[in-house]
Structure 1
Amino acid sequence: MPKNSAPKNLVISNNIRRLRFEAGEMTQIELAEKVGASRQTILNIEAGKYTPSLDLAFRIADAFGVTLGEVFERQPAGGA
């Protein structure tokens, strides 16, 4: 495998639920309004059922005042 190729068996996980709690128990609706998305979109991102666009991912990070890497992480598929 070339040096710069990322393994294909990675999944994106997120810390949105934890960040919402740390931000004064912010609701999904409050976060959705801050980032210009629907509550359903936030719910699906938190549940790992939807991967946000890069723009939305940055807006979520900005809403919490953290880096993109603090919100989203790459992990091996299967949770290992």
Structure 2
Amino acid sequence: MKTKIKEYRAKYNMTQLELAKAVGVRRETISFLEKGEYNPSLKLAIKIAREFHVSIEELFIYEDSEFD
């Protein structure tokens, strides 16, 4: 799954650590999300989207080929 987390962090001038603290995870989790190495729980996806005032669909890009 691709994400726009890094783009939104830059827009909000926020570090990985600041975002991690805001949503209650470790900084490494944010790093893994940005690299596409981790798919978030629905709860975490909602928290991150709310932090940036966007929809989940705006922040996380699902690609059908991921599950083929």
Q: Same fold by TM (over 0.5)?
A: yes
**Structure 1 position 19 matched with structure 2 position 8:** yes
Per the alignment, residue 71 of structure 1 pairs with: 59
* Residue 75 (structure 1) shift: 2.4
**Structure 1 position 45 matched with structure 2 position 28:** no
Structure 1 counterpart of 2:41, one-letter code: S
Per the alignment, residue 61 of structure 1 pairs with: 49
**How big is each residue's C-alpha offset from its partner over 1:4-56, in whole Å with a ceiling of 9 and x where there is no partner?**
xxxxxxxx210000000011x20000000110010000000101111010000
Larger radius of gyration: 1
For the residues of structure 2 that align with 1:63 and 1:46, how far apart are their CA atoms? 15
* Residue 74 (structure 1) shift: 1.4
Aligned-CA RMSD value:
1.3
TM-score by length of 1: 0.77
Runs of 4+ in 1 over 3 A off after TM superposition: none
Where structure 2 has 5 or more consecutive residues not aligned to the other structure, the ranges are none
State how many pairs are aligned: 66
- Give the number of the structure whose residues are more often strand, by fraction: 1
